[in-house]
Amino acid sequence: MRIGLYGGSFNPAHLGHRHVTLTALRRLGLDRVWWLATPGNPLKDARVLAPLERRCAEAERVADHPRIAVTGFEARIRARYTRQTLRYLARRRPGVHFVWIMGADSLTSFHRWKGFREIAATMPIAIVDRPGFTLTAPASRAARLFARNRVPEAEARTLPLRAPPAWIFLHGPRSTLSSTQIRAEIRGGARRPNGVLQSASEPSTF
């Protein structure tokens, strides 16, 4: 099995998350993607975080795909950091080829994650392009540190089988949606039901 792991607050989940997931499923040849709804992100304000059960239920509604599974199991195993979750899964499912999936915006701050070097050494990483980060993410501190481990985009389907550290940057249509934006629109009394997909050649409005 080739399984992608897409972690986040999903506060709330939106079609941008689904777009990233479907891109990874198709380009990497994955069998499944698990959305890992975190009980709390140390780098974000916990005061705006909706209850985990509500976030998971909304994520399942948004995902609406037979190959996407939503789980909040990190709360059960008391994982506070991503490295703990990946360590747990790699140890208990040694026969599965896991890939950690991130949006390009997350790559710019990846060096601030607790144990980011351990994460990179635990499983391959797929970065999916986001508006406003097409150029800055590949030039980020973490990207420079692991520059020699970058996999050519034409070899995307080999990523799940590669020994870490290995990472790839996937270009293509990009969603302009973000959870922060949606929360702001909800507070303002207006919420857009769909995100805009932007081709890689279009100017960023994110």
Provide the residue ranges of all domains of the chain, joining segments of one domain with +. 2-198
Q: Is residue 201 predicted with pLDDT exceeding 50?
A: no
pLDDT in tens, 50-108: 999 999 999 999 999 999 999 999 999 999 999 999 999 999 999 999 999 999 999 99
Query: Do 20 and 128 meet the contact criterion of CB atoms below 8 Å apart?
Result: yes
Angle of helix 15-28 relative to helix 52-63, nearest 10 degrees, comes to 60
Q: Can you give the pLDDT at residue 72?
A: 97
Q: Which CATH superfamily is domain 2-198 in?
A: HUPs (3.40.50.620)
Rounded Cα distance, 182 and 188, in Å? 10
Q: Is residue 196 predicted with pLDDT exceeding 80?
A: no
CB under 8 A, 24+ apart: contacts of 107-113: 107/133, 107/137, 107/138, 107/140, 107/142, 107/143, 108/133, 108/136, 108/137, 108/140, 109/43, 110/140, 110/141, 110/142, 111/140, 111/141, 111/142, 111/145, 112/43, 113/43, 113/81, 113/82, 113/83
Q: Can you give the pLDDT at residue 40?
A: 79
Q: Can you give the pLDDT at residue 204?
A: 27
Query: Do 153 and 168 meet the contact criterion of CB atoms below 8 Å apart?
Result: yes
pTM of the shown model: 0.85
Q: Is residue 206 predicted with pLDDT exceeding 90?
A: no
Q: Can you give the pLDDT at residue 199?
A: 42
Q: Can you give the pLDDT at residue 12?
A: 92
Q: How far apart are the first and last CA of the chain?
A: 35
Of 28-42, 89-103, 122-136, 148-162, the poorest mean pLDDT is in: 28-42
11, two tokens: 């506060």
